[in-house]
Amino acid sequence: MANVVVFFAQGFEEIEGLATVDILRRAGHTVHTVGLGGEVITGSHHIPVKMDDVLDTFYWADIDALVLPGGLPGATHLRDDDFLIKKLKEYSKKGKIIAAICAAPIALHRAGLLKDKKYTCYPGVEKDINQGSYTGHLVEVDGKLITGCGPAATFEFAYTIAEALGTDTSALREGMQYNKLLNK
């Protein structure tokens, strides 16, 4: 299975970060939670979460996907981290999956990864992005770039990442009762 890194910064959106980690782990992937600025990162709704590692010491080997949850001010912290922006550019050039949800596409914008791409984000955030084509969809996939619009999109966002990594998510969707949510 694949190696996925989910980056957490102070003020991240808990649903987007934690549910994505949960779903990707249920799908059988190895998911590393990596904190910017510490081992314990507190979400925008005041839930502290202990990270597997911190950005400064994380070992960057065999990574298949980089994932950025949104939330404020978490997404701005991701956007403003020069080392993370460098890694986003590097892994995009390597053809790896890059995924961001809610306000986190602002980090992709700073890295120049939205140029000539379709993307979605939390409504209103697109006003701060002058690259690519905003669709407003729940989840958008353009090549190896995956974006989601906000907390309600998290399950579909995470399933889409898992599918891009080669996982058939039909049994997982059924087991998590997602199929009932969509009346399928």
**CATH (domain of 12):** 3.40.50.880
pTM: 0.96
Burial class from Cβ neighbours inside 10 Å (0-12, 13-18, 19+) for residue 106 reads buried
For tokens 């939205």, name the residue.
114
Domain hosting 74: range is 3-181
Cα separation, 144 vs 83, in Å, equals 21
State how far the Cα of 67 lies from the Cα of 79, in Å rounded to an integer: 13
Token look-up 């979605």 returns: 120
Per-residue pLDDT of the chain (184 residues; tens, 9 = 90+): 999 999 999 999 999 999 999 999 999 999 999 999 999 999 999 999 999 999 988 988 899 999 999 999 999 999 999 999 999 999 999 999 999 999 999 999 999 999 999 999 999 999 999 999 999 999 999 999 999 999 999 999 999 999 999 999 999 999 999 988 866 5
If you ran DSSP here, which 8-state letter would residue 181 be given? Answer: H
Q: Which residues contact 45 (CB under 8 A, 6 or more apart)?
A: 14
Counted domains in the chain: 1
